[in-house]
Amino acid sequence: MVKLKDIAERAGVSMATVSRVLKNDIHFSVTESTKEKIIEIAEELGYERRGEEEREVVIALPKGSVGVFLLYNEELEIADNYYQIIRVNIKNELSKAGFVVREIFLNMLGSYINHIENFQGIILVGHMGILAKTKELLTVIREQKIPAVCADFELENEDVMADCVVNDFEAVVAKALQRFWDNNYEEIGYAGTYGIQIHGRLRGDKRYLGFKKLMEKRGTFKEEYLWLANNNRIQDGYEVGKKMLQQKKKLPRAILAENDSVAIGLMKALKEGNISVPKDIALIGCNDIPASAFVAPPLTTVKLSDELIGQMSARMLIERIITGREGGIKIVVPDKLVIRDSCGTKSKL
């Protein structure tokens, strides 16, 4: 007996796409060439439309399994709960929809790459730098034509039509800098990471790139006010701060940190060096982790929509599995400046 799966494999599309084409679903968007190909293959294989079989496929969709590939090791969630919040919200949304969720951390990736076909869809969480090192995973996603969503990054590989849910980090940086400018701070530094390796090339973190772009546009970017480390944990921020003080050079009036962890570590080092925040140096972080409100002084930060990234990544995947949509969609989530004591005087606005 010919099944929808047989047609889908021959046509190189999902079973959901085959099902909706053969049912003449007028609300389903698919190219004419794909539609004709599916119908031609169905006729060639002698497929007989069976209402019961089609209903079975549709009912089974929300009861399948989804692989959530976490492109980092578990230790990262201990140091910073940003990805943990994304992961938990993805799992909650998928579980509510009836999916079985398999969470796969980086150290387990190799064991699952060759079994991706067992998932109805996958969500990739992390950043492009790690994914670029696992070209095999991208190859399998492309060849298997499995619905995929990238949470917190977007693919540069146009052959893989994945959805993505991302932050607008230039807008994040713009909010922080505008706060400094409103306080008449023009000498502004940056503390963060060198960036990530993608296909053997170092790519700067988008927050740093946004900072450099906006500061150069204003004519106030200075290399000597740039402090970078390999990672963005609290310890890295602390070590950056110690290095900053050891240089015994003029310090900027304000510093934007890549994330709250770097800002908190930096704040500790500055305090040990008798540098007052915000009296001597104003400071703004990024992400609004729980500890940010409880350090002294409380940290001004730009809150990222980590919960929404998780929720929307799951919802987009569910929609894509059900509709069989082939083209990728990009969603940019909002952010918000949370003003506390570390950034200095109140805004003029």
pLDDT score recorded for residue 278? 97
* Two tokens, residue 322: 């059900």
Q: Do strands 254-257 and 121-125 pair parallel, antiparallel, or not at all (unpaired)?
A: unpaired
Residue with tokens 């938990």: 88
pLDDT band, residue 129 (cuts 50/70/90) = low
- pLDDT (tens digit per residue) in 166-186: 999 999 999 999 999 999 999
pLDDT score recorded for residue 48? 77
pLDDT score recorded for residue 144? 85
Q: For the residues 212-217, what does the mean pLDDT come to?
A: 97
- pLDDT (tens digit per residue) in 15-34: 888 888 888 776 677 788 88
Q: Select the more confidently predicted residue: 49 or 239.
A: 239
Please, what's the largest Cα pairwise distance for the chain?
Answer: 81
pLDDT score recorded for residue 82? 92
pLDDT score recorded for residue 157? 65
- Kindly give, in sequence order, each residue whose CB lies less than 8 Å from that of residue 81, ignoring residues fewer than 6 positions away: 289, 290
The DSSP bridge partners found for residue 286 are 302
Nearest to 90 by CA among 113, 108, 66: 66
The mean pLDDT of the chain is: 88
pLDDT score recorded for residue 201? 57
Backbone phi and psi for residue 33, each to the nearest 5 degrees, phi listed first: -65, -40
DSSP string, 233-261: SHHHHHHHHHHHHHTT-PPPSEEEESSHH
Question: pLDDT at residue 59 above 70?
Answer: no
Do residues 42 and 36 make contact, with C-beta atoms less than 8 angstroms apart?
no
Percentage of the chain modeled with pLDDT above 70: 89
- pLDDT (tens digit per residue) in 203-214: 678 999 999 999
**Cis peptide upstream of residue 297 (ω within 30 degrees of 0):** yes
pLDDT score recorded for residue 68? 96
- pLDDT (tens digit per residue) in 150-165: 999 988 766 778 999 9
State the Cα–Cα distance between residues 109 and 168, nearest whole angstrom.
28
State the Cα–Cα distance between residues 300 and 263, nearest whole angstrom.
10
Residue with tokens 């993608």: 198
H helix or E strand, kind and range, residue 130:
helix 128-132
Q: For the residues 236-258, what does the mean pLDDT come to?
A: 95
Percentage of the chain modeled with pLDDT above 90: 60
If 0-12 CB within 10 Å is exposed, 13-18 middle and 19+ buried, where does residue 235 land? middle
- Kindly list the strands in the beta sheet with 282-287, ordered across the sheet, starting from the edge strand earlier in the chain: 226-229, 188-193, 254-257, 282-287, 300-304, 335-338
State the Cα–Cα distance between residues 105 and 91, nearest whole angstrom.
14
Q: Select the more confidently predicted residue: 331 or 117.
A: 331
pLDDT score recorded for residue 130? 66
